[in-house]
Amino acid sequence: MHTDFDACVRAVQSKDSRFDGWFFTAVLTTRIYCRPSCPVVPPKVENMTFYPSAAAAQQAGFRACKRCRPDASPGSPQWNERADLVARAMRLIADGVVDREGVPALAARLGYSPRQVERQLLAELGAGPLALARAQRAQTARLLIETTALPMGEIAFAAGFSSIRTFNDTVREVFALAPGELRARVAGGAQSRTAAAQETPGVLALRLPFRRPLTPDNLFGHLAATGVPGVEEWRAGAYRRTLRLPHGTGIAALRPEPDHIGCRLWLTDWRDLTQAISRCRRLLDLDADPQAVDALLSQDPLLAPLVAKSPGRRVPRVVDGPEFAVRAVLGQQISTAAARTHAGRLVQAYGEPVTDPDGGLTHLFPSTAALAGHDPAQLAMPQSRRTTLAALVRALADGDLDLDVGSDWQRARAQLAALPGFGPWTVESIAMRALGDPDAFLPTDLGVRYAARDLGLPATPAALTRHAAAWSPWRAYATQYLWATGDHPINLLPLEGVSR
């Protein structure tokens, strides 16, 4: 969008928050870059220039605005809508692959050379993978500086910087303040938009932004109703779950608020902060563009009333693709309650214990390596499903199947379909929630078929699929609206104080 100068100017002059993350406004006279909705008086048109990413603006010598904090804006929805090289690269960079493993490892995961990846990212985002990762490190550093009491040396390495000198230079360049000055601004009374300070040692409280509107009922209701005992729970108005992270473990508590998601993170290693935030945002589909989704779905007269009633429904996604694939197999052709029971038994037998300071979480979901050594005969399920689970775990453990954030959606579908016991429902469920494909569709799902019948949509899966072609590329969101017509607990925001 940044190449459409007039459209960008209109968005800036109207302070339209819908475009936060789509592009960044740089002011030539002040050398500051902002998000489109920055609350200050818009600059003169002749002083504006636009960049596709914060990293590109930083590379051009602009520093982040202290009022609108453009580095903390919602991410571009394109990276969750697309499955091409650039989108896959951006998802992997957000998950910290460049910081942990370097650009060659990023390119290897994508199946391209480092030079090709660099060229594609420069062409579309105006910055290469190292610059994009650097911008992300700067944002993580700011969060830790302003919201924790950690020493600056620990913050530097927790944010992913290789040295304290690089950390100091980057913070000064991006924010026009030294790290100590950033912390002093908060301590002096200016309230951080993320959180003022730690309330408990080892805990970070922050706000996760999103594009409005957002209907939380089915989003949090689905996560709570299908939560695995010991791994997930609903407690005191928040969804809580354990996290397996690159350097340690964590617990996330996510609470829906009118204009943001309240997030509290317990981390055993602060180096995992970037990945924890990225996975929480992905879990709740917070980088979606509800205006575009709802505008298209409203063109269908049978869906329009559902959209008008509860606009901004999100797709409840996951923090770990392999975990959800295992849970999808466990839940084949049984009730939600039975699927939770099976998953809970698997967690107790093979999950890694964790300590929860504020709730009842007890384990991480079992890793692929742990499940690879399990005895399928010990699971109380039909032999055919045991065979399916064993084949899935073997493919994941051997590296033949990639369900992580940077996976190729169509290739993963084909690989899943080749496994025994994987029909269209299981494959599309994984594509929708684990891979994040916004166009995944489940025409054979009973909830979808019942809703279609009640709304007057075509009754057979084949006819419904033909009708749903007009909903593309947002059929996963259409599924949420169809599911929401039922009275299943997945559609209801849990009551305060209810623990599941």
Q: pLDDT band for position 194 (50/70/90)?
A: very low
Give pLDDT tens digits for 302-312: 999 999 999 99
Residue-level pLDDT at 149: 84
Judge if 34 and 126 occupy the same domain: no
Q: What is the largest CA-CA distance in the chain?
A: 71
Same domain membership, residue 67 and residue 90: no
Residue 150 lies in a domain: yes
Question: Which residues does 171 contact at the CB level (< 8 Å), separation at least 6?
Answer: 138, 141, 142, 145, 177, 178, 179, 182
The average pLDDT across 240-267 equals: 96
Q: Are residues 58 and 124 in the same domain?
A: no
Q: Cβ-count burial of 102 within 10 angstroms (0-12 exposed, 13-18 middle, 19+ buried)?
A: middle
Q: Assess contact for 74 and 209: CB atoms under 8 A.
A: yes
How much is the pLDDT for 93?
Answer: 95
What digits encode the pLDDT tens for the residues 142-190? 988 988 888 999 999 989 998 999 999 999 999 999 999 999 987 654 4
State residue 375's pLDDT score. 76
pLDDT surpasses 80 at 2: yes
> Does residue 29 surpass a pLDDT of 80?
yes
Domain total for the chain? Answer: 2
pLDDT of residue 197: 40
Query: Are 92 and 176 contained in the same domain?
Result: yes
Query: Do residue 105 and residue 33 come from a single domain?
Result: no
421-448 average pLDDT score: 97
Residue 135 belongs to some domain of the structure: yes
Q: At 93, is the secondary structure helix, strand, or coil?
A: helix
Residue 198 has pLDDT above 50, yes or no: no
Q: Is residue 211 included in any domain, yes or no?
A: no
- Provide the 3-class DSSP secondary structure of residue 54: helix
% of the chain exceeding 70 in pLDDT: 96
Instruction: Give the pLDDT confidence score for residue 380 in this predicted structure.
Output: 75
CA atoms within 13 A on the CB side of 230: 20
CB atoms within 10 A of CB 456: 9
Q: Domain boundary residue among 144, 161, 187?
A: 187
Question: What CATH number should be reported for the domain holding residue 157?
Answer: 1.10.10.60
DSSP 370-434: HHHT--GGGSSS-HHHHHHHHHHHHHHHTTS---STT--HHHHHHHHHTSTT--HHHHHHHIIII
pLDDT in tens, 448-494: 999 999 999 998 999 999 999 999 999 999 999 999 999 899 999 88
Residue 390 has pLDDT above 90, yes or no: yes
Averaged pLDDT, 84-97 = 94
Strands 63-64 and 203-208: unpaired
CA distance 168 to 146: 15
H or E element: which one contains 183? helix 179-187
| Domain contains 19 | yes
- Is the model's pLDDT at 196 over the cut of 80? no
Integer-rounded Cα Rg, in Å, for the chain is 23
pLDDT at 498: 52
Among 163, 187, 211, where does a domain finish? 187
Indicate whether 121 and 181 sit together in one domain.
yes
**15 plus 66 within the same structural domain:** yes
Do 58 and 111 belong together in one domain? no
Tell whether 68 and 124 lie within a shared domain: no
CA-based nearest residue to 66, from 204, 174, 179: 174
In a domain, 62, yes or no: yes
Listed residues 50, 72, 94: the one ending a domain: 72
CB atoms within 10 A of CB 473: 14
Residue 95: domain span:
86-187
56 lies in some domain: yes
Q: Do 56 and 135 lie in a common domain? A: no
Per-residue pLDDT tens digits for 51-62: 999 999 999 999
Q: Does 500 map to a domain?
A: no
Distance of alpha carbon 403 from its chain centroid, rounded?
14
Q: Are residues 92 and 53 in the same domain?
A: no
Give mean pLDDT, residues 261-285: 95
Of residues 79 and 35, more confidently modeled: 35
201 pLDDT band (50/70/90 cuts)?
low
| Statement: residue 497 has pLDDT above 80 | no
d(CA 477, CA 440): 9
Show which residues are catalytic: 34, 445
Residues 96 and 176 grouped into a single domain:
yes
Q: Is residue 334 part of a domain?
A: no
Q: Give me the pLDDT at residue 218, please.
A: 94
Dump pLDDT digits (tens) for 340-382. 999 999 999 999 999 998 889 999 999 999 999 877 777 778 8
- CATH number for the domain harbouring residue 45: 3.40.10.10
Residue 191 pLDDT more than 70?
Answer: no
Q: For all residues of the chain together, what is the average pLDDT?
A: 92
Once rounded to an integer, what is the mean pLDDT over residues 405-432?
Answer: 97
Q: Residue 193's pLDDT band (boundaries 50, 70, 90)?
A: very low
